[in-house]
Amino acid sequence: MVDRKTFQLPRKAIALVLAGGRGSRLHELTDRRAKPAVHFGGKFRIIDFALSNCVNSQIRRIGVVTQYKSHSLLRHLQRGWNFLHGEVNEFVDLLPAQQRIDEESWYRGTADAVYQNIDILETYRPKPEFVVILAGDHVYKMNYAVMLVDHVESGAECTVACIEVPRHEASGFGVMDVDENGMITDFIEKPADPPAMPGKPNMSLCSMGVYVFNAQYLYAELARDINDPASDHDFGKNIIPHAVKNRVAAAHSFSRSCIVAPDEQFREYYWRDAGTIDSYWDANIDLTATVPALNLYDRNWPVWTYQQQFPPAKFVHNHLDRRGNAIESSVSSGCIVSGEVNRSLLFSGCRVHSYSRVNLSVILPDSTIGSRARLSHCVVDSDCNIPANMVIGEDPAEDARRFRRTENGITLVTRKMLEQLT
């Protein structure tokens, strides 16, 4: 058992958030930004969830590894995550790709991204004993300190957080088998036919992309991997399978560290990869439910972010035929609504003009919905101006011609798409 000083384990760790992902499955939504910088939940960016988990878990030495179209992400981090106190060794360190190996070597994979920053990690004092590797593009609330305790108690060199996923959805994950002692006996990255869990033929045990490593073991493994010409230099494809082969990888169940308030025991363990237009829309619309699966109102586990100084949301006018209202919706600061909003999420600074209708839609910051426009099942990117009388979401063929429409009927609208119509 770990001694009574286990509360100090977060102080011995450093977290590295891998935030260089291209997010290609989000299509035009990531044309101008990396996936971790995509807006989420009315006022946040996706990366805020991993960073907030770190701070709330008392892991306050954090590195953010960036690469693809990182300007908006870096700006967000500089403005919203500068509240940690460097004088007591708290920080969010920005680690953009710097071609440390040679002039042509950008980050070639998740493992290479960490390898190219080992020299920086080794300068931190006190030296980290544990390295927590996190994906910057997942939405969830988790206490990493609990996972650190489980990692130390297991005696493993690395620990992989895992969650049960319906088998038909598991082909996009790393899937594992675990023995009775919690050690991982097999790990397959994104299998076409995911193996089922023992006794649960319809479920697979999947990696969440959250890892804890003993620091010296990790550095040695990355050095070994970088010299393997057959490697993809990726944690899921190379580092974790090698640790499993050597019987030094343990599993940590998300159910042990998922943050659920005392009055929320009936809720599911919430973890989402909002990596497609459909899943992004679904995860945001989830938040408009009377009792959403993800609780953003828990003051004991706040989600931190950068906020512009907006006035409160406002609803006008007091006339029966043009009274602004929002039903089962989330409306952020700075919004002015004089149309109808139903089961939708408005980010900050949006305008919904008179006689317009917004239904089951996600409207990103500073967008305007013109008078008598009708939107249904849409994702509208930031700074869009939907013209008066425009109808989106009612004619599939017309939506597909003008915008991007998914197979599930969600229409993505961007400013560039709108400009091409004029």
pLDDT tens digits, the chain, 422 residues: what are they?
444 555 689 999 999 999 877 768 889 999 888 899 999 999 999 999 999 999 999 999 999 998 877 888 899 999 999 888 878 888 999 988 766 555 555 778 899 999 999 999 999 999 999 999 999 999 999 999 999 999 999 999 999 999 999 999 999 899 999 999 999 999 999 999 999 998 899 999 999 999 999 999 999 999 999 999 999 999 999 999 999 999 999 999 999 999 986 566 555 689 998 889 999 999 999 999 998 889 999 899 999 999 889 999 999 988 888 899 999 999 999 999 999 999 999 999 999 999 999 999 999 999 999 999 999 999 999 999 999 999 999 999 999 999 999 999 999 999 999 999 97
pLDDT of residue 23: 64
CATH topology of domain 6-288: Spore Coat Polysaccharide Biosynthesis Protein SpsA; Chain A (3.90.550)
pLDDT of residue 99: 60
* Residue 262 CB partners (closer than 8 Å, separation 6+): none
Is 174 annotated as ligand-binding?
Answer: yes
**Separation of CA 12 from chain center:** 25
Domain borders along the chain are 6-288, 314-421
Amino acid occupying residue 217: Y
Residue 229 preceded by cis peptide, ω within 30:
no
Q: Rounded to whole angstroms, how far apart are CA atoms 386 and 217?
A: 54
Is 164 annotated as ligand-binding?
Answer: no
234: left (phi over 0), alpha (psi -120 to 50) or beta: beta
Q: Rounded to whole angstroms, how far apart are CA atoms 2 and 146?
A: 12
pLDDT of residue 1: 47
DSSP 3-state of 358 = strand
Owner of token pair 């580092």: 239
The CATH number of the domain covering residues in 314-421: 2.160.10.10
DSSP 3-state of 27 = helix
Owner of token pair 């992004």: 280
pLDDT of residue 319: 85
Q: Where are the alpha helices (DSSP H) in 91-230?
A: 110-115, 118-121, 144-154, 215-226
pLDDT of residue 103: 54
Crossing angle between the packed helical segments 47-56 and 71-80, to the nearest 10 degrees = 30
Is 189 annotated as ligand-binding?
Answer: yes
Torsion angle of C-alpha atoms 133, 282, 332, 396, degrees rounded to 10: 130
Its pTM stands at 0.93
